[in-house]
A = this chain, B = another copy of it.
């Protein structure tokens, strides 16, 4: 929760509140303590955000993310299909590694494949676009379940027998917003897929992050 400092202080404060509420539902007192702002300011700011639908209050009176954000999020996705941005980079990744590459985003307690490019090999990993996978198994799951991280994560025969993979986080403002994975048969990727393709996967991930901004 690093505090972003922009040219407009009030926006910074407001977004700080949103960020805090994003983590978990918060009472007013909770927000006051977390921010250090006066009760009055916090209350007024949160009230304003509530008026705009960015926050709302649950049955217990705690602030939670507002419904407006759902619509805005959908809209934002529409204008910026992460999948489209990622596709050329994933293709490049497949060209370089010869293995299948995927992009995953977290969705609740699982992860969803939002983009995938298949290896040209006869024996290859296949993950369908839209496929829902576990968050607790596979290198991609590890990356997405860790709040923030750098570098790559590898897994061998964890999610599925015979399959090995390396994944790297796509970071935006320090947060993991997606995971890029390269996966294929253990026979080709060997005991340490990371040593083999970790660098390439990280490059692809930061390439996507660069476009996302």
By a beta-carbon cutoff of 8 Å, the part of chain A in contact with chain B is: 4, 6-8, 10-12, 14-15, 18, 22, 25, 44-45, 47-49, 51-54, 56-58, 64-80, 82, 105-108, 172-173, 175, 177, 212-213
Contact = CB atoms under 8 A, between A and B. Distances in A.
A70 B80 CA distance: 9
20 contacts: A4-B52, A6-B47, A6-B52, A7-B47, A8-B10, A11-B48, A12-B48, A18-B72, A22-B72, A22-B75, A25-B79, A53-B172, A53-B173, A64-B79, A65-B80, A68-B172, A68-B173, A70-B73, A72-B72, A74-B105
Contacts of A51: 4, 6-7
B107 A74 contact: yes
Nearest to A5: B51
Give the residue among A65, A72, A173, A175 with the most B Cβ atoms within 10 A. Answer: A72
Contacts of A107: 74, 78
A65 B79 contact: yes
Given A11-B14, A53-B173, A69 B76 contact: yes
Contacts of A71: 22, 73, 175, 177
B213 A56 contact: yes
A52 B212 contact: no
B65 A72 contact: yes
B70 A65 contact: no
Contacts of A58: 79
Contact of A70 (B14, B47, B56, B76): B76
Contacts of A8: 10, 14, 44-45, 48
